[in-house]
Structure 1
Amino acid sequence: MRLFIKSNDYLVWDVIEDDPYIPLKIENEGNMILKKKMEMGEEERKKIQINEKALHMLFCSFGPDIYSKVSFIESAKEVWDTLETTYEGTNDVKETKIGILNLSFENFKMEPDETVSKMFDRFSTIFNVLKGFGETIPEDKLVRKLLYSLPESWDGKRTAIIEAKNLKTLKLDDLVGSLLTYEIMKQGREEEKKKEEKRVEKLEVKKKKKM
């Protein structure tokens, strides 16, 4: 949703994030009354229109259950804040979730018989959710963590990458690509080995039959 709004109109996202909404109220003899449209200046109209555009983009993306909870709110920022609290929790809840995710990141390891693709799916889920909570992990730290999460059977490849690459500048996508290539080659060698073993077994069987 954040990406969709920013790509359509960054001013709309500014409204949601910073709340430049102008209430249509003025003070009259000590009482707050609604300002008439003809009394509004052009700049004020523009700010109100951006807020309405933000509300429109948000409301059009909601199902009936969510819409019924926020349809009465006039500020796009208040709608966004309500959604964050409802679906992400209060600040205390967020901090707890971030703590759990950070622990998952620190303890991350490649599982037995797991492919590089599946491992990276789990890995990217952790750091992308953290990013959603405002916790951005530097790419060089992601590279090192993924590299050292590999099991002992990958020691040779890990050492080769460390010796050949600068881990401070190595891109995560490039690392994953290198690991995927190595995995394919490794699987190919294992398949060839199995075929050779089967061929030897068949020869042994033929020899025994002749005897």
Structure 2
Amino acid sequence: MAQSIDKPPFFNGEHYAYWKNRMMFFIKAKDFHLWDIVEDGPFVPTTSPDVYAKVSSCESAKEVWDKVEVIHEGTNDVKETKIGLLNLEYENFKMDPNEDIKSMFDWFSTIVNQLKGFGEEIPEDKLIRKLIYLLPQS
């Protein structure tokens, strides 16, 4: 089912990086200046009940955003560790001999998108070279 352009993306507690990017795009699409409010604004928006207790004392949307980010991504040290592990996974990525190309590409895209979620973007030409290298001779 397609996402409504009038409702923000629902966060169910899983796939935080995916939700984070969708939410950021949703807010910017509504009004690009709303993102400034998220980063610097004086308002604390209501959140889902399971996270509310953790952010209820925050005094700005930026504080809420940062707290939710730490809850789901971890501290800077944790993020750096995750980035390192994802980079290692990217560098060592190989296609399993019993794997079809779609499955390989889906997993490869997941790794690349997780890196992007942490702010680590790999240039497109490097991604293409890596994918071509991964393809079987057949």
Q: So what's the TM-score if we normalise by structure 1?
A: 0.52
Equivalent residues in 2 for 1:21-32 (5 A)? 21=41
1:73 maps to 2:58 = yes
Residue identity matched to 2:122:
I
Which sections of structure 2, spanning at least 5 residues, go unmatched? 1-22
Match of 2:102 among 117, 122, 127: 117
SS of the equivalent of 1:77 reads helix
In the alignment, what sits opposite 2:120? 135
1:2 pairs with one of 24, 27, 45: 24
- Among residues 16, 20, 37, which one is paired with 1:15 in the alignment? 37
Question: Partners in 2 of 1:7 and 1:118 — Cα distance?
Answer: 32
Matches within 5 A, 1:97-116: 97-116=82-101
Structure with max Cα Rg: 1
Give unmatched runs, 5+ long, in structure 1.
22-50, 155-211
Q: CA RMSD in A?
A: 1.5
TM-score by length of 2: 0.77
Aligned mates of 1:83, 1:8 — CA distance in 2: 21
CA contact (8 A) 1:109 1:150 kept: no
Aligned residues: 116
Work out which structure has the larger RCO, using CA pairs closer than 8 Å and 6 or more positions apart in sequence: 2
In the TM superposition, structure 1's runs of 4+ consecutive aligned residues that sit over 6 Å from their partners are none
Asked if structure 1 preserves the Cα contact closer than 8 Å seen for 2:58 and 2:64, the reply is yes
More helix by share: 1
